[in-house]
Structure 1
Amino acid sequence: MGELYPDRNPYHLQNLAKMHKRCSCCRQTYEPETGFYYGAMYASYALSVAIVMPLMAVLHFVFHLEVIIMFSIIGGLVLVMYPLIFRWSRNLWLNIFVPYDPEKRRAVLSGEMK
């Protein structure tokens, strides 16, 4: 599988959204159409909810924290995790809508396709 991002560290915020143009293995373009990643916002929301809801339940039912303390902890965590969630949602969105073609990858690796 090819690398999606030139800078692997999502916490280098100046490079957060920079992606390679094409996959180095199969030459698939990483932006099939203009605005393709707008839909990744929905995936980002779903990932955030999947992180926040169980954490909120644990903080409330296990540790019996007050609401303001819970929201502070969760808000801080989501803020710290934002670069990871951003990239995970792009990866997820791309994997949902761009099918993997092993034959194309073999052709590129064997030199039949440039």
Structure 2
Amino acid sequence: MTSFKAVAHAKCPRCRQGNIFTGKAYGLKVQKMNETCPHCGLRFEREPGYFYVAMFVSYAMAVAELVTACVGTYFLTGYMDGPWLYLIVAFATALVFAPFNYRYSRVILLHWLTPGLQYQPENKK
């Protein structure tokens, strides 16, 4: 499995087999993260407070989504000047993408921003 595909499917960064999360990205259940990889046993939280960095990744993702949504709204509405439509679009965008950002900010942090975590296909329990 390629790195991009492993990120898209929220798989373990070391073995690319086990799931990082127990459920789906969107659903009525609360998103719960596995403590360890069910396939290779990798502990996902590298140290206490490790996922605080994911807030910054999530912030960058949210800014990109909000700017894209508001600029798209600006062009689709014929350059409307009123602020209320943009506020509603920004709020709705933030609300819809919150579960996505929560999940994939952690996955991106594990896969691409953590030094020392590389793909090791031979690593098994």
TM range (shorter): 0.7 to 0.9
TM-score, normalised by the number of residues in structure 2: 0.73
CA distance in 2, matches of 1:74, 1:101: 37
TM-score, normalised by the number of residues in structure 1: 0.80
- What SS is found at the alignment partner of 1:94? helix
In terms of fraction of residues, the more helix-rich structure is 1
1:11 positional shift: 3.1
Residue in structure 2 matched with residue 73 of structure 1 by the alignment: 89
Residue in structure 1 matched with residue 114 of structure 2 by the alignment: 97
- What SS is found at the alignment partner of 2:73? helix
Residue in structure 2 matched with residue 19 of structure 1 by the alignment: 33
> Residues 107 and 4 (structure 1 numbering): CA distance in 2 closer, same or farther, change over 3 Å?
closer
From 28, 31, 34, the counterpart of 2:48: 34
- What SS is found at the alignment partner of 2:38? coil
CA RMSD in angstroms comes to 1.8
- What SS is found at the alignment partner of 1:106? coil
1:107 positional shift: 3.4
1:8 aligns with 2:8: no
CA distance in 1, matches of 2:70, 2:26: 25
> Matches of residues 51-66 of structure 1 in structure 2 within 5 Å?
51-63=65-77, 64-65=79-80, 66=82
CA distance in 2, matches of 1:84, 1:31: 19
The 10-residue stretch of structure 1 (93-102 or 29-38) with the greater mean CA deviation from structure 2: 93-102
1:42-80 deviation per Cα after TM superposition (whole angstroms, max 9, x unaligned): 001000011111221121234223211111012112112
Residue in structure 2 matched with residue 111 of structure 1 by the alignment: none
1:25 positional shift: 3.1
> Residues 9 and 54 (structure 1 numbering): CA distance in 2 closer, same or farther, change over 3 Å?
closer
> Runs of 5+ in structure 1 lacking a partner?
109-113
> Residues 34 and 55 (structure 1 numbering): CA distance in 2 closer, same or farther, change over 3 Å?
same
Amino acid corresponding to residue 114 of structure 2 in structure 1? F
CA distance in 2, matches of 1:100, 1:29: 14
Amino acid corresponding to residue 70 of structure 2 in structure 1? M
Pairs aligned (count): 105
